[in-house]
Structure 1
Amino acid sequence: MRRSRVGATPKTKLGRREGTRSQAVYFLIVSEGEKTEPNYFASFAMNRRPEEIHIEIEGAGRNTCSLVRYALAKRAELEWLLHRQFDRVWVVFDKDDFPDRDFNEAIRMAEQEDIRLAWSNQAFELWFLLHFELPRGPVDRREFRPRLEYLIQQGHPRYNRKRRYRYKKNATNMRRLLVDAGGFVDRAKRNARTLRGLFSDTNYAQHNPCTTVDLLVEELEYPELVLLQRAW
């Protein structure tokens, strides 16, 4: 299990637009993966002012329903230790090869407990791929890595025929790498919305490919939106 707490320092071009707020937004993110997701989401708090955002990240190494139950327990534990409530609690997990019933039940359980979900079908790497292109038709998770390696290899100035790019799940610079390779987060968000628009039922396990990671990314980029929603 991996836990990290991330906060703020001076701005880079990956940081949010200019502006100040008097209240930090507190996020708890509990992910199935112990490396890929925690490293990626931690980058959203780097170079940010402490009055903007505070993120607690737990790489739990669990899945579906057990992950949601773990998030509920972790929320209670950390809120007691921090003496404050989280503004948002997010659970991040993939469909992988887990039974359809377990995947759908985890989504239902989280919604009942006021937990937001950033799920991917079939794998989190779909979110990275959406920075470059929109898949046509169902995608097996084994296809993501070679396709992602090809796109970054082609677009990143650091790599060439002699220096090959190899995707690593424990990479700490994935967000920057995607940008430098010509990937755009706005394109990824748009592609994610397009994929969700292809499905109208609630059998989420059959929504392939599909992801809601963009909804979490949007809040991490613009945490003030969380405060506005809670005020309504």
Structure 2
Amino acid sequence: MKRIIERTEDGSATLFVPELDEHYHSVKGARTESQHIFINMGLKASAAPQPHVLEIGFGTGLNALLTLEAAEQDARPVHYTGIELYPLAWEEVDALGYSNNPLFKQLHTAPWEEDVKISPHFTLRKIKMDAISDKWLSLNPDLVYFDAFAPEKQPEMWNEQLFRSLYVYMNTGGILTTYCAKGVIRRMLQTVGFRVERLPGPPGGKREILRATKEKP
């Protein structure tokens, strides 16, 4: 899969995939978008004292980096599982412009398929597989970052069966956040049992995002 480095409006970098005509992040600001959707509306809204985060679409590792920074700032232990079928080559990682951050480098150089303690409050496990696989279903996350490509670009990732599996295996009180606020996705999440909120999107980006909460065991 060919990927091209592009700079976004907040100065942070993202990747563009010509084959899908899709960016990994908002061109209005990659870091701004990730911070708003997954940290502010996700991690900070979770009541779990030591949350287990499941990211569907590890991608550039930006969501993991921001989560690590928040975990250390709040002295809050986080276990982070990132699923990715197409890991970046180191040349791509280096070109993103974060490689002067030793923690970001550790996120990408850490071995796959095992728990790695990146910092005092952040443990990472990267799994190379399609999120449709049932291998991750016993992870029991407290928080899901649903960051797959858009439904029209990757429709197999946005289906009721997958959301139902997430709902069943998430811990009670668990939260799922996603940039996609399409009505069909919101209704799928509601159908499988989530309470779904439409929240304001990131500055300069999408008007709305979704946050889904599992309120019942």
Q: How does the TM-score come out when normalised to structure 1? A: 0.30
Larger strand proportion of the pair: 2
Higher helix fraction (1 or 2): 1
Higher relative contact order (CA 8 A, sep 6+): 1
Length-normalised TM-score, structure 2: 0.31
Which has the greater radius of gyration?
A: 1
